[in-house]
Structure 1
Amino acid sequence: MAAAPYKYKRLKSNSHEIRMLRIHPTWRPSTIKCSLVIVNLDDLDNEAVPFRFYEALSYTWGDPTGKVTIKLDGCSFEVAHNLAAALRRLRAKRGYRYLWVDAVCINQADEQERNSQVALMGLIYRTAEQVIIWLGREADGSKAAMKLIDKISDIGVEEGDMAALLANETHRARWQNVARLFDRSYWRRVWVRQEVALAKGIVVLCGDQMMSWDALIEAAIFLNENTADFEPIAAEMTRYTSGYHDAIGMDILREMVLKDNQVPLEDVMLHLRQCECTDQRDKVYGALGLVGPGVNIAVDYGLDKVAIYTDAAIAAINSTNSLNTVCACQNLNRGTGLPSWVPDLEADWTARKLRRTENLDTLGSAGGFAKPIYSFRRREDGLFSLKARGVVVDTISEVCAEFDSDETLFEVLEEWRALAVKALSALHPSLSDDEMRSCFWRTITANEELRGLAASEGFIAQALEHVVEGSSDAIPPIDLRYGQTAFNERFREDATNRRFYATRNGYVGLGPSDAKNGDLVAILLGNALPLVLREEDDHHLVVGETYTHGIMNGEIALDLDEGSLHIKEFEIY
């Protein structure tokens, strides 16, 4: 006779009660047997609590169609294959092991409980004595990969030896195993960011192999420093080759938590935007354990994505007293139903974010001369509009083709150059040839070096290495299809999927792919970057962030003082 399906005992509402999975020991490879123990996180020192040490599992659910039946308090309970493999790996031969694992410890069928338990996940992972990263069962050379990664962290590899290692076919196969390990879906998932960042200690498991988190990160940093040699090898084996970048990103979040005990909501949201999750609302809820008590967003899976993303944008703006969150908007068509000023966290980046939080201070601030003044208004259709004060700097008069492919790179860059010559030659007082070149080359690289510093003269001078011979133009043609320089790399990062434009009064800029003639270049007070806004009836829409040369460091404050520009209020839908 089949065992009855499991029925959860209810947890006390408005408390820190959770369920802990108790894995029963065995000497034999038999059915996995577990039980659930209800405990309060506030009372773990109580003698009635049956454990003094618990761990939390960080893993991916995996294929939802394949299930394994385990015994949970004597009842049948189905879990995914990946979790079953983790439980088999972790159960002891003697003594119980206590583990918090979301798929079992939360009644996933109870939406109210799911809301309250997800809100506690940050506390659960902070309190655990250890977080176990489970990368899955041994496969695709993972055992050899884990051993190689551990070896790198122990002895390292001298600079210059990487190419020799990769050229050796024996070593090449081992590095391909490493690529496959970093191709596992774990590195792309939303929730693991929080789980890793909040952990007191971390151990990494794959099959029967184990290593420390520090060892894995040292190897990831090594691969990052040797990307040019490693990526071609990795690309032969897998479409996704940047899992080691994700690992480094998790470690950066971890360092931020260790330093400040929290991370700004805007930073986490933008980090999670490029991650994967089954429920897109988790792009917000997966961030809440990292952001501290100053951000008040209630977990409610009864709300739709539009409401949750809007609430998150409002919370990010209010918690930082900054409108920089709006600069992440690249969703003008609003097919999702979101307001144009709310970042669509489900959509991948159309173009690389121009300024990161960590380098805003070194790169100036367009609207930093004034404090932001803003409010939110609920409209009749239920959506919120953003009302903010700012300045219209100019109107776009001409836009060039978008740079989106190496196949048209030279032709597109020639079109950009021609517009720059036309716009800058008409300025009064006139610019020197050196000033025109500097203006154009700084604009197409957003005036930023690879390491996030303001572009130096030496960095901009690298464009001369790409100049086509025989030109006497003030801004000579450059061919960026060939030659590896930091200038070329930065151009490709910032200019891809963007357009070069000119304004009526002679400004030039690097703007969003949706920019068109008649759009406004505006600065919202306090904002780091200018925005391209589009006027529509009695309101405006956010087209996207922009680099506009000559207004990036608060220069328009003087124009406001002189009265040539005026502060106005925008209502942005």
Structure 2
Amino acid sequence: MVSVSPRLRDSLDYEEPDTIDPRLSLGSSSASLDSSGYEEYELQDDHRPYSASGDPSSSRRKRRQRESDQAFDQLAPFKYRTVADGDLFRLAVVLPGTGKQPIECRLIWEHAKKPKRDYFPVTFNLLAALRALRKTTTNLLIWIDQICINQDDPEERAHQVWSMQNIYSFSKKVVVWLGQEDDKTRKFCDYAKKMRRGDDSSKIRNTLNKIMSPRELQDAIQNVLQRPYFQRVWVIPEVALSRFTTIAIGPHRITWDNLARLIKNVPLPPAQGFDKQLALLGNPRQRIAILTQMIATQRERLSHTDIMQLLILAKGSKATDVRDMIYSFYAMTYLRTFPDYRVSVEKLYTEIAHYYANSILWDTSYSAQHNLREEKRTQQLMSILYSAGKLHQHCDLPSWIPDWTFSWYLSPIWCKTTSNFGTASGKDEWSIGIRSDFRAGGTVRGDFEVLDGPHGAHKLRVSAMVFDTIMIVSGTTPASSPGLVKDSTAPPDSSMKYGRTFFKTRKGVVGIATPGVEANDNVAVILGGDVPVVLRPHGGGTEERREYQLLCECFVQNDGIMSGDLARTNWVSAEDIVLI
């Protein structure tokens, strides 16, 4: 339990052995866990922290549930009496118990940079996790973000985000709680444990097939990946920063490495048409692959994760506070500005885009750590633009700034959604496997500059070829066109067309784009980009630098454009434009 001392200054000299922060002293009383305020983490139909019993009598279970509800209704909500700031954070001591006994805990203080105890986080389905993890006769020392951080105090949350890297990296292990078991869980975990790395002998295959058939294994993997845990944005630091991660499903356990190996080696069954498990960026399998590579990055103590990884993961995630779309990966970037939960979402998203664009372009240490050659540098810069666009924003942002709250819902044209597990090295070329086959903008990037100052704030100058104008927009597929330079390509696969609008240009080229494009919008290629984009003239700027709003990426049914022939043969017609 926390002591009742007032908030203390952050400048205490922790190097002095005689200087002891009174917050590090243990309290004397316990606090019962109440689920109010953490509805996001509750089990379905489990709105009270009631410990279940094996009693088969339905009436007795209902009576005990009513008694538990009445008891907790009479309890006063827990009040945080101190602030976790500086390098201090709370730990929960879960008292022993079983069955119908209420879950009780005490809160104590720990020092982030000088931990004295082993600890690990549990972050999902909190009450069910505590029931499964608490011990019968001894205390359990644990860090639980929903309890050990006062979620109603923005300043304390910011301090704890600041300390998150130390909390996770010094922990003995991280337990990822996926929820209660089902009828396939035991066999799935048994299969994962018995599957040996690199062993494909007939003996081990026969052993595994006796546990689960290939079809049963596919279904079990799908069941695991569809659990809500993998949609949470805080999965990113929990897994990437930990020394050792264990997956817990009810009473069963497997390691993260075992899970990743299963995902890598067991393909999905073929699907017809649009399938979210394959077609969307940040799909569960791709998510596991990127997280596994990020683990390798952090093990090599590299100071950042690239923007393309973060965009793919975060835009496919969920968070109660959308600022956590940025702050959740705070410890894995060069960001050193203190987290501020009072800053506007628009300002935060704009600043992160400015920061990454300038770091990729000009920060030599940023480039050196991941061997950022020019091709990869261009790919990361373009990933910012292809993740943005006015038709892909909820927030009021400049059109070239990604809106991290806008989830992926269309199959991407600018990259692939395959799961590339790479070489488990922080410096591997993980993104090569997901780059698209198109090279509409050629291989040489033109100008790419964030404009500073009062008149250029939040604007981006790029080199582009504005080569056509949309004339007709339709929800039905138009006839193929002869193309602009060469014979037309085959139309994209069905998943790429799903949810998109067809258009036809003034020069007779057919294409697809995000719904919302209109007649008189322009089609352009940005030098160095993989696919064309749709721009909307803004009317501002100068004759030398016209201003546009970026709307979305697009595909045009013309091989000369999509392969980059147009950009290579007509590069002199490229101009500097400004995206606002």
Q: TM-score, normalised by structure 2?
A: 0.66
* Contact 1:132/1:204 (<8 A) preserved: yes
The alignment status of 1:264 with 2:336, answered yes or no, reads no
Offset of residue 390 of structure 1:
2.1
Distance 1:288 1:537 in 2: 38
What is the match of residue 67 of structure 2? Answer: none
1:497 aligns with 2:499: yes
**Unaligned 5+ runs, structure 1:** 61-81, 236-241, 403-407, 446-490
In structure 2, do the counterparts of structure 1 residues 28 and 393 end up closer, same or farther at CA, with 3 Å as the change threshold?
closer
**Within 2, Cα distance between the matches of 1:512 and 1:522?**
15
Find the residue that maps to 2:326 and give its secondary structure.
helix
CA RMSD of aligned residues (A): 4.1
Question: Could you tell me which of 342, 351, 362 is aligned with 1:302?
Answer: 342
Q: Does 1:396 align with 2:439?
A: no
Aligned equivalents of 2:102 and 2:273: distance in 1? 42
Query: CA–CA distance in 1 between the matches of 2:505 and 2:575?
Result: 19
Unaligned runs of 5+ in 2: 1-70, 278-282, 362-380, 416-430, 541-546
Does the 8 Å contact 1:131/1:199 carry over to 2?
A: yes
Higher RCO by CA contacts (8 Å cutoff, separation 6 or greater): 1
User: C-alpha distance in 1, partners of 2:252/2:409?
Assistant: 39
- Identify the match of residue 121 of structure 1 among 157, 161, 164: 164
Is residue 20 from structure 1 mapped to residue 60 from structure 2 by the alignment?
Answer: no
Match of 1:368 in 2: 444
Q: Is 1:325–1:343's contact at 8 Å kept on the other side of the alignment?
A: yes
| 1:517 counterpart residue number | 519
> Retained in 1: the 8 A contact 2:84–2:149?
no
C-alpha deviations, 1:20-40, integer Å up to 9, x for none? 222334578633332222222
| d(CA) in 2 for partners of 1:391, 1:177 | 47
Q: TM-score by structure 1 length? A: 0.67
* CA positional deviation for 1:542: 1.0
For the 8 Å contact 1:135–1:186, the answer to whether it is kept is yes
| Correspondences of 1:121-270 after superposition (within 5 Å) | 121-139=164-182, 141-151=184-194, 176=219, 179-223=222-266, 225-228=267-270, 243=284, 246-258=287-299, 260=302, 262-270=304-312
Please identify which structure carries the higher helix content: 1
How far does residue 130 in structure 1 lie from its aligned partner after superposition?
Answer: 0.9
Q: Distance in 1 between matches of 2:337 and 2:307?
A: 11
Query: Do residues 340 (structure 1) and 405 (structure 2) align?
Result: no
Counterpart selection for 1:102 from 137, 141, 145: 145
The answer (yes or no) to whether the contact 2:84–2:90 under 8 Å persists in 1 is no
Residue in 2 aligned with 1:457? none
Other structure's SS at 1:147 match = helix
* Secondary structure at 1:228 match in 2: coil
**Aligned 1:49-60 pairs, distance under 5 A:** 49=116, 51=117, 53-57=118-122, 59-60=123-124
Identify which of 76, 82, 106 aligns with 1:10.
82
Contact 1:372–1:527, Cα closer than 8 Å, also in 2: no
- Cα 1:546–1:106, aligned 2, differ >3 Å: closer, same or farther? same
Cα offset for 1:296? 4.7
Structure-2 change in CA distance of 1:502 and 1:124 (3 Å): same
Matched, 1:313 2:346: no
Segment of structure 1 superposing worse, 138-147 or 201-210: 138-147
* Per-residue deviation, 1:119: 3.4
Deviates more, 1:322-331 or 1:142-151: 142-151
Cα deviation 1:220-277 (Å, max 9, x = unaligned): 2233x14229999x99xxxxxx755543443243344445453113421232212223
Q: Distance in 2 between matches of 1:170 and 1:558?
A: 55
* Amino acid paired to 2:352: A
Instruction: Give the count of matched residue pairs.
Output: 453
Whether the aligned pair in 2 keeps the contact of 1:330 and 1:349 (CA below 8 Å) is no
Per the alignment, residue 78 of structure 1 pairs with: none
For 1:138 and 1:12, the matched residues in 2 are separated by: 35
Match of 1:440 among 489, 492, 509: 489
Mapped contact 1:119–1:289 kept (Cα < 8 A): yes
Equivalence for 1:464? none
* Partner Cα distance (1:40, 1:195) in 2: 19
Distance 1:276 1:326 in 2: 22
Q: Structure 1 pair 98/336, CA: closer, same or farther in 2 (3 Å)?
A: same
Distance (whole Å) between structure 2 residues aligned to residue 530 and residue 176 of structure 1: 38
Q: Which of the residues 309, 316, 332 maps onto 1:274?
A: 316
Q: How much has 1:131 moved relative to structure 2?
A: 0.8
AA partner of residue 264 (structure 1)? D
Instruction: Tell me the equivalent position of 1:355.
Output: 414
Q: Is the 8 A contact 2:273 2:494 kept in 1?
A: no
Equivalent position amino acid for 2:325 in 1 = K
Shift of 1:528: 4.8
Q: Distance in 2 between matches of 1:131 and 1:169?
A: 28
Select 2:331's aligned residue among 270, 289, 296: 289
